[in-house]
Amino acid sequence: MTNRITQLFNIRYPVIQAGMIWTAGWRLASAVSNAGGLGLIGSGSMYPDVLREHIRKCKQATDKPFGVNVPLIYPDIDKHIQIIIEERVKIVFSSAGNPNTWTPLLKQHGVTVVHVVPGSKYAIKAEAAGCDAVVAEGFEAGGHNGREETTTICLVPGVCQSVKIPVMAAGGIASGRAMMAAFALGAEGVQIGSRFAATEESSAHDHFKQAVIHSAEGDTMLTLKELIPVRMLKNKFYTQVKEAEERCAGKEELQLLLGRGRAKKGIFEGNLDEGELEIGMVSALIRDIRPAAQVLQDIWKEFCSLQKGIGEWKI
């Protein structure tokens, strides 16, 4: 398949592996890139020197294109950007912040820049800032999310109508069927998080991966809306947040309850009670831990078979 996304990144399949914190290190990113997708290193949980190490290891592990996801609210963002430029990373996916701040500098250094957006108005801003593409990320997605709660099926067509640059869809996509749904809505690529979190190469703790593949419909919720909305698996920590919210605890109390390092505790250290288990709604449809290359192949095979099937409908 050749489209604007495969051409933009010079990849075989228009499938991007999301740069998830504590999950997407060089092992996962290089596995996805080697398999023909686009792997992203998740820099949001990395100190600058750790990021540099992951970029270097990723270069050694693959000669295919890969990128780095950069949450723009990260405190050491200037150091991250500097390392990305020094290490000649060619692709950056930015999220959670203003695309105007760093896009021009990155573009000057020949970096392809994609911004992740939860709404059409942000897509328009990203296009104006010079981004090469956007990811339209729906309410379904794990981790930090938008306040308007626009879901993938409503967001993708809206974003596609709002910008001319190519659009990738994210949120709720873990299968060839969902990938086809995204393409029907106008996307030219998909960014997949949760399905790649439950792979052998994911650096998430095995307890976390097990919680993901054993989760059921309704087991994730978008919560902590008073601070920054985040989608996570329901667990003891989630229940504490919910109870605090139900008695109208203020921002300060919620911030204190959240504390520091909750996501690391849950995702990387596997503490299923006290950790913040960030994952997408689609985890309910994920049943096993597989090698990342197999995940990509299975999604692509289902997508191709569905394409053939739809073409043969008599209507």
DSSP 4-73: HHHHHHT-SSSEEE---TTT--HHHHHHHHHTTSBEEEEGGG--HHHHHHHHHHHHHH-SS-EEEEEETT
Binding status of residue 246 toward its own copies by CB under 8 A: yes
Q: Which stretch binds its own copies (CB under 8 A): 42-50, 60-68, 73-81, 116-124?
A: 116-124
Amino acid identity, position 205: H
- Among 82, 255, 294, 307, which residue sits at the site for its own copies (rule: CB under 8 A)? 307
Least spacing, CB of residue 148 vs its own copies, in Å: 3
Binding status of residue 260 toward its own copies by CB under 8 A: no
CB distance 175 to 280 below 8 Å: no
CA distance linking residue 193 with residue 281, whole number of Å:
11
DSSP state of 314: -
Binding status of residue 124 toward its own copies by CB under 8 A: no
Binding status of residue 117 toward its own copies by CB under 8 A: no
Least spacing, CB of residue 260 vs its own copies, in Å: 26
> Torsions phi, psi of 223, nearest 5?
-140, -170
- Among 50, 73, 184, 227, which residue sits at the site for its own copies (rule: CB under 8 A)? 184
Exposure string over 61-75, b if 16+ CB within 10 A, otherwise e: bbebbbbbbbbbebe
Q: Which stretch binds its own copies (CB under 8 A): 76-84, 106-114, 266-274, 302-310?
A: 302-310
CA dihedral for 76, 77, 79, 83, sign (positive or negative)? positive
Binding status of residue 69 toward its own copies by CB under 8 A: no
CB distance 294 to 245 below 8 Å: no
Q: Which stretch binds its own copies (CB under 8 A): 34-42, 94-102, 172-180, 268-276?
A: 172-180
Least spacing, CB of residue 191 vs its own copies, in Å: 14
Binding status of residue 252 toward its own copies by CB under 8 A: no
Binding status of residue 120 toward its own copies by CB under 8 A: yes
CA distance linking residue 125 with residue 12, whole number of Å:
29
Kindly provide the residue ranges of all beta strands, DSSP E only, lying in 60-209, ordered along the sequence: 66-71, 91-95, 112-117, 133-137, 143-144, 167-170, 189-192
CA distance linking residue 259 with residue 277, whole number of Å:
14
If you search the block for the tokens 């750790």, which residue do you land on? Answer: 50
Least spacing, CB of residue 201 vs its own copies, in Å: 24
- Binding pattern for the stretch 140-159 against its own copies, x by CB under 8 A and - elsewhere: x------xxxxxxxxx-xx-
Nearer to its own copies, 56 or 121 (CB): 121
- Binding pattern for the stretch 271-290 against its own copies, x by CB under 8 A and - elsewhere: ----------xx-xx-----
Binding status of residue 19 toward its own copies by CB under 8 A: no
Q: In the complex, which residues of this chain contact its own copies (CB under 8 A)? A: 1-2, 119-121, 138-140, 147-155, 157-158, 161, 171-173, 175, 177-178, 180-186, 217-218, 221-222, 246-248, 281-282, 284-285, 303-304, 306-307, 310-315
